[in-house]
């Protein structure tokens, strides 16, 4: 679509009461701006004199929103003299955007309208990014500090606006605010994508110089390099027929490079010219309107940025997961039926009954967790989307829901599997002895079944042995070594089971806690949702009553057509009422659920305490058994060694016993490591949740880390020992040899002291490494701060430099002016002799030049910085377009005088 750049003129309100001082008028009906009594400039939108922010937005910006959502880029620029309301038009009067919505400028209004549209469109997926830059000469600064920032609602966007505003430095810079909108939706089995950018450019005002071109036309050209290049580009674009588009000098300034798409590009562009109506500002207003006249001749090629892909939704795996979950649900409900039937038959013993009831309770608990964590929230999210802002965190929440779901289902599957096989086995062999049950159990263990749920009777020999146990009698007579070993194995399995149960319980508690947090978070939203839904229900019921009354009337007058129509309407309304009631029921008050969850959490805590107690008891029992076993082994060894004919056998026994011992030690080490890991994990989570660790905790964390590493090493060593892979160090190494000799002399206590010292040394080393790392991070952040300061300083330098350039330019102009006055004075003094005048003039100008040289010399000594600035300016002249460079060359200019004005005219070649 080929379209001209759209233009609008806004006249800045003035406090001057005297109408004679006003020379600009807006003819809203004919869309013209009247300048004095002479000129009438046609524009696309001549805004009324007292145009409010709302009128401006509704008349000229709202239509651009349609282009934007269609996938076209849009650009809105403000241009004009300083203080005429450019920033006011784009942003509003103050830094605090939220202060008064009535005064909000184009950008905040655009953001609100855009998010409003997005919230109404539930069929599409939207992604929004904003960016804000400041262009200072040739430098571009990021006002948000992190490039393009994703934002999901109006308040986020307003926060970013405030942040950017607080980072704007000075008045002499252009700013560019962009909102990028990405849309995705399904259409006929394909995914449609649209990407459009809305750019809002506040063009800074700039000093002007007067130039008369070859055709004798006066031009007021800005001194700012960006604006000057923009003028040049627009000038060339407006005379497109005579220019090759490739010759447009966009790349001569940063500003024009950034605005390439807005003039002669693919964007739909609106240029708002802000002008002052005062006579004093006549020339500036004229210059702005001339620029606007040129700009509205520029043609853009507005295009829709869209493409199609043929993929399905990224999270297609979700369907697979859902399927698997459904299957698992079916399995679980089958198992439930089986257990219920078994309970009914009465063929199972008391402990099995307890197990089944435990299982059923757990299943109930899981189901509650799953239904709380997935279904209601998902449907509620949808309602919230319709009524409230689209929630950014929705994706991550549903992700974690799925993770929880999968984890719960896995735990559940293992438990079900275990229990089903256990129950079915015991049902098949109801008359077997306790011992055979126990053997079965361990055979199952060997097939890889999980051994986390045990009844007290499963381990009767062990519990019989446990002196602390009150519910089981002590065994009659002593147990032999083999029995003791078996018992230890059982205890180990039992301990593992308890540990796993504790872990699972912790996990469930974690899920419950998260659920509670989510419920509390959504509580207020649900209240709002319910209120709105209640209103909706009432309205629907009202409509239904009206329709029923009409139906009665229709029946009395026998209007069958109306009757069937009303019947249909009533049934539709009742459907809608049911649906709304259903949605309302989903958004039911959570207080009850929260209390239930709290209760459940408390009971879980109690259960956890119980399990920990059991675990401690088992560990104690195991220790006793192990000690006992050691003693009896020593005793057996002693007896065996006394038998002369059994040396071979005794070696074999010792080896296998050693082997078993090492394995057992490894298990022990692993358990200790797990406990240490748990402790470390607690401290880790504390530090990750941004709670600072105190010194003691920091020290503890380091100690845990070191201890875990040492235990890992020990496990590795023992594993190697079992496999016969121990590397025997080269004993010839003198230091090693020396050390070993010394170590051999040490007794156990001394070795322990030595080890402790080593351990402390390592902890100290770890601590200092950590401190060093923290220092590095700190230094890096300091570095970043310094870099930011350098950036700020260079910005200030740039400003000072352009100020200096401006001053030099005005000094030059003053100098020229004085020169002209001198000429005039001399011509009057000398009585018209041209030669004499010339020679006097040359003499004076020599004097002036000399004076300037002296001044410059002084300057050189006084201010090196301004000299550098001067140098940079001349060095940069290469990039200044031809018009300006020629306009500034005195030798090619002709100076004439009209009334009180001096005009520098470019001499034609
Ligand atoms: N139409 C308007 N209605 C009310 N106040 C206005 C209007 N236009 C400008 N102002 C006020 O005039 C002052 C100057 O406006 P603003 O800062 O927007 O000008 P500007 O063109 O951006 O100036 P500069 O180029 O120096 O940054 C502000 O206090 C602003 O609130």
765-801 pLDDT, tens digit each: 988 888 898 889 889 888 988 988 898 898 888 888 8
Residue 67: the pLDDT is 94
Residue 179: the pLDDT is 95
Residue 840: the pLDDT is 63
Q: How many residues are listed for the chain in this entry?
A: 909
Share the mean pLDDT of the chain.
74
Side-chain half-sphere CA neighbours of 684 within 13 A: 9
Residue 130 lies in a domain: yes
- pLDDT higher than 70, residue 711: yes
DSSP β-ladder status, 190-202 and 74-80: parallel
pLDDT interval class at 846 (50, 70, 90): low
Six-digit token string for 433: 């002895």
Distance CA 76, CA 64 (A): 9
- pLDDT higher than 70, residue 437: no
In this structure, the answer to whether residues 45 and 158 fall within a common structural domain is yes
Highest mean pLDDT among 180-184, 435-439, 515-519, 556-560: 180-184
* CA–CA distances in Å: residue 762 to residues 705, 731, 736, 765, 775: 11, 26, 20, 5, 20
Six-digit token string for 766: 């770890």
484-518 pLDDT, tens digit each: 777 888 888 888 888 888 888 888 888 777 777 77
| 458: DSSP letter | G
Residue 390: the pLDDT is 37
For range 80-84, the mean pLDDT: 90
Distance CA 36, CA 21 (A): 10
In this structure, the answer to whether residues 743 and 815 fall within a common structural domain is no
| Cβ–Cβ < 8 Å for 201, 318 | no
Six-digit token string for 685: 């989570």
Residue 604 lies in a domain: no
**Residue 187 CB-density burial (10 A; 0-12 exposed, 13-18 middle, 19+ buried):** exposed
Angle between helix 394-428 and helix 481-556 axes, rounded to 10 deg: 120
Residue 89: the pLDDT is 94
Six-digit token string for 782: 């300091």
Lowest mean pLDDT, pick from 15-19, 28-32, 231-235, 608-612: 15-19
In this structure, the answer to whether residues 136 and 193 fall within a common structural domain is yes
311-327 pLDDT, tens digit each: 554 444 454 565 566 66
Tell whether residue 81 is among the known ligand binding residues.
yes
Domain coverage including residue 835: 796-906
Q: Who wins on pLDDT, 671 or 635? A: 671
Distance CA 16, CA 23 (A): 12
Residue 64 lies in a domain: yes
Lowest mean pLDDT, pick from 307-321, 382-396, 702-716, 839-853: 382-396
712-767 pLDDT, tens digit each: 888 888 877 777 666 666 655 677 777 777 788 888 888 888 888 888 888 889 88
- The rounded Å distance from CA 274 to ligand 1 centre is 9
Residue 846 lies in a domain: yes
In this structure, the answer to whether residues 74 and 221 fall within a common structural domain is yes
Distance CA 393, CA 416 (A): 34
Question: Within its chain, how far is the Cα of 840 from the centroid?
Answer: 74
Tell whether residue 256 is among the known ligand binding residues.
no
Interface ipTM > 0.90: yes
**CATH number of the domain to which 24 belongs:** 3.40.850.10
In this structure, the answer to whether residues 98 and 247 fall within a common structural domain is yes
In this structure, the answer to whether residues 225 and 299 fall within a common structural domain is yes
Residue 96: the pLDDT is 58
445-457 pLDDT, tens digit each: 333 322 333 333 3
392-409 pLDDT, tens digit each: 444 444 445 555 555 655
**Residue 231 CB-density burial (10 A; 0-12 exposed, 13-18 middle, 19+ buried):** buried
Residue 589 lies in a domain: no
For range 338-365, the mean pLDDT: 71
In this structure, the answer to whether residues 132 and 187 fall within a common structural domain is yes
SS3 sequence of 589-627 = CCHHHHHHHHHHHHHHHHHHHHHHHHHHHHHHHHHHHHH
Tell whether residue 85 is among the known ligand binding residues.
yes
- pLDDT higher than 50, residue 21: yes
Residue 804 lies in a domain: yes
Six-digit token string for 571: 């049934």
pLDDT interval class at 197 (50, 70, 90): very high
Residue 644: the pLDDT is 46
| Cβ–Cβ < 8 Å for 693, 701 | yes
Q: Whose CA is nearest to atom 4 of ligand 1?
A: 13
Q: Who wins on pLDDT, 374 or 292? A: 292
Six-digit token string for 45: 């939108």
Q: Whose CA is nearest to atom 23 of ligand 1?
A: 83
456-469 pLDDT, tens digit each: 333 333 333 443 43
Cα dihedral 848, 850, 856, 860, rounded to 10, equals -170
Of all residues in the chain, the percent with pLDDT exceeding 90 is 16
Number of domains in the chain: 4
- The rounded Å distance from CA 803 to ligand 1 centre is 22
Q: Whose CA is nearest to atom 31 of ligand 1?
A: 93
In this structure, the answer to whether residues 716 and 740 fall within a common structural domain is no
Residue 849 lies in a domain: yes
In this structure, the answer to whether residues 741 and 723 fall within a common structural domain is no
Residue 243: the pLDDT is 56
Last residue of a domain, one of 309, 344, 379: 309
Side-chain half-sphere CA neighbours of 207 within 13 A: 12
Q: What is the number of the ligand 1 atom nearest to the C-alpha of 94?
A: 31
296-307 pLDDT, tens digit each: 999 998 989 988
pLDDT interval class at 259 (50, 70, 90): very high
| Cβ–Cβ < 8 Å for 562, 554 | yes
Give the pocket of ligand 1 (CB within 6 Å): 12-13, 80, 82-88, 93, 171, 204-205, 274
- The rounded Å distance from CA 83 to ligand 1 centre is 5
Distance CA 770, CA 790 (A): 30
Residue 251 lies in a domain: yes
In this structure, the answer to whether residues 723 and 737 fall within a common structural domain is no
Residue 273: the pLDDT is 96
In this structure, the answer to whether residues 264 and 141 fall within a common structural domain is yes
In this structure, the answer to whether residues 46 and 94 fall within a common structural domain is yes
Residue 584: the pLDDT is 77
580-631 pLDDT, tens digit each: 887 877 777 677 777 878 888 888 888 888 888 888 888 888 888 888 777 7
For range 458-485, the mean pLDDT: 47
Distance CA 133, CA 257 (A): 13
Backbone angles phi, psi at 303, to 5 degrees: -130, 155
Last residue of a domain, one of 309, 339, 358: 309
Last residue of a domain, one of 277, 309, 341: 309
624-652 pLDDT, tens digit each: 888 877 777 766 665 555 444 444 444 44
For range 23-49, the mean pLDDT: 87
Tell whether residue 525 is among the known ligand binding residues.
no
Residue 794: the pLDDT is 86
* CA–CA distances in Å: residue 143 to residues 132, 134, 140, 174, 862: 5, 7, 9, 12, 35
For range 368-372, the mean pLDDT: 53
């Amino acid at each position: 679509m080929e379209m001209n750049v759209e233009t609008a003129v806004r006249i800045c309100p003035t406090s001057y009461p005297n109408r004679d001082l006003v020379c600009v008028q807006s003819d809203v009906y004919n869309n013209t701006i009247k300048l004095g009594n002479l000129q009438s400039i046609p524009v696309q939108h001549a805004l009324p004199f007292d145009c409010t922010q709302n009128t401006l937005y509704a008349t000229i910006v709202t239509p651009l929103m349609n282009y934007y959502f269609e996938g076209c880029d849009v650009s809105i620029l403000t241009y004009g003299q300083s203080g005429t309301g450019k920033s006011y038009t784009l942003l509003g009067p103050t830094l605090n955007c939220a202060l008064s919505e009535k005064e909000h400028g184009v950008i905040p209004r655009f953001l609100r309208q855009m998010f409003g549209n997005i919230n109404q469109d539930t069929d599409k997926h939207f992604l929004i990014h904003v960016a804000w830059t400041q262009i200072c000469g040739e430098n571009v600064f990021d006002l948000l500090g992190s490039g393009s920032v994703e934002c999901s609602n109006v308040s986020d966007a307003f926060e970013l606006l405030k942040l950017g505003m607080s980072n704007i430095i000075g008045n002499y810079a252009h700013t560019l605010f962009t909102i990028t909108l990405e849309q995705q939706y399904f259409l006929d089995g394909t995914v449609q994508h649209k990407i459009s950018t809305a750019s809002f450019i506040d063009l800074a005002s700039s000093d002007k110089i007067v130039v008369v071109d070859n055709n004798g036309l006066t031009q007021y050209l800005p001194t700012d390099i960006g604006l000057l290049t923009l003028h040049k580009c627009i000038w060339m674009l407006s005379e497109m027929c005579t220019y090759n588009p490739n010759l447009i000098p966009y790349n001569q300034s940063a500003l024009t490079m950034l605005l390439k798409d807005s003039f002669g590009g693919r964007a739909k562009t609106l240029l708002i010219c802000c002008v002052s109506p005062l006579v004093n500002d006549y020339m500036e207003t004229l210059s702005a309107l001339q620029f606007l006249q040129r700009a509205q001749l520029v043609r853009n090629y507005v295009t829709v940025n869209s493409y199609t892909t043929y993929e399905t939704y990224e999270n297609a795996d979700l369907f697979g997961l859902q399927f698997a979950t459904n299957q698992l649900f079916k399995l679980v409900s089958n198992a439930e039926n089986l257990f219920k039937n078994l309970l009914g038959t009465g063929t199972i013993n008391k402990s099995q009954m307890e197990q089944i009831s435990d299982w059923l309770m757990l299943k109930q608990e899981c189901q509650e967790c799953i239904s709380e964590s997935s279904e209601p929230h998902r449907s509620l999210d949808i309602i919230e989307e319709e009524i409230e802002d689209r929630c950014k965190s929705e994706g991550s929440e549903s992700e974690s829901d799925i993770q929880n779901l999968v984890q719960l289902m896995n735990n559940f599957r293992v438990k079900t599997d275990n229990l089903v096989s256990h129950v079915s086995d015991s049902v098949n062999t109801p008359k077997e002895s306790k011992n055979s049950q126990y053997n079965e159990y361990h055979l199952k263990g060997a097939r890889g079944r999980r051994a986390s749920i045990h009844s007290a009777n499963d381990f009767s020999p062990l519990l019989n042995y446990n002196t602390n146990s009150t519910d089981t009698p002590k065994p009659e007579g002593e147990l032999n070594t083999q029995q003791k070993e078996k018992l230890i194995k059982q205890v180990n399995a039992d301990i593992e089971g308890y540990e796993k149960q504790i872990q699972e319980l912790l996990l469930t508690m974690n899920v419950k806690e998260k659920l509670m947090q989510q419920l509390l978070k959504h509580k207020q939203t649900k209240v709002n949702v319910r209120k709105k839904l209640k209103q909706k229900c009432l309205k629907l019921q009202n409509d239904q009553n009206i329709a029923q009354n009409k139906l009665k009337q229709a029946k009395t007058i026998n209007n069958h057509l109306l009757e069937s129509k009303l019947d249909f309407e009533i049934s539709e309304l009742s459907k809608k009422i049911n649906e709304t009631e259903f949605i309302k029921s989903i958004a039911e008050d959570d207080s009850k659920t929260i209390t239930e969850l709290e209760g459940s959490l408390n009971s879980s805590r109690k259960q956890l305490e119980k399990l920990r107690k059991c675990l401690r008891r088992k560990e104690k029992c195991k220790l006793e058994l192990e000690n006992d076993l050691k003693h009896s082994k020593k005793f057996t060894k002693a007896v065996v060694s006394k038998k002369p004919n059994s040396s071979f056998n005794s070696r074999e026994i010792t080896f296998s016993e050693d082997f078993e011992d090492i394995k057992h030690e490894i298990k022990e080490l692993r358990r200790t490591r797990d406990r240490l890991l748990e402790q470390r994990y607690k401290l880790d989570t504390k530090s990750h949740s941004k709670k600072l660790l105190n010194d003691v905790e920091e020290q503890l964390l380091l100690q845990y880390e070191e201890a875990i590493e040492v235990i890992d090493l020990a496990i590795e060593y023992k594993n190697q020992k079992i496999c016969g892979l121990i590397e025997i160090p080269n004993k010839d190494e003198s230091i090693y040899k020396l050390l070993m000799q010394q170590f051999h002399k040490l007794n156990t206590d001394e070795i322990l002291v030595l080890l402790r010292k080593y351990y402390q040394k390592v902890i100290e080393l770890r601590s200092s490494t950590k401190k060093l790392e923290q220092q590095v991070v700190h230094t890096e952040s300091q570095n970043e701060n310094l870099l930011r300061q350098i950036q700020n300083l260079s910005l200030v330098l740039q400003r000072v430099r352009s100020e200096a350039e401006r001053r030099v330019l005005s000094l030059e102009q003053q100098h020229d002016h004085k020169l002209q006055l001198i000429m005039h004075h001399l011509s009057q003094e000398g009585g018209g002799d041209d030669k004499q005048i010339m020679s006097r003039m040359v003499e004076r100008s020599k004097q002036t030049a000399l004076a300037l040289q002296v001044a410059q010399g002084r300057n050189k000594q006084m201010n090196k910085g301004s000299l550098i600035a001067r140098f940079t300016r001349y060095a940069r002249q290469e990039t200044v377009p031809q018009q300006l460079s020629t306009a500034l060359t005195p030798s090619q200019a002709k100076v004439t005088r009209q009334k009180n004005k001096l005009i520098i005219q470019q001499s034609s070649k």
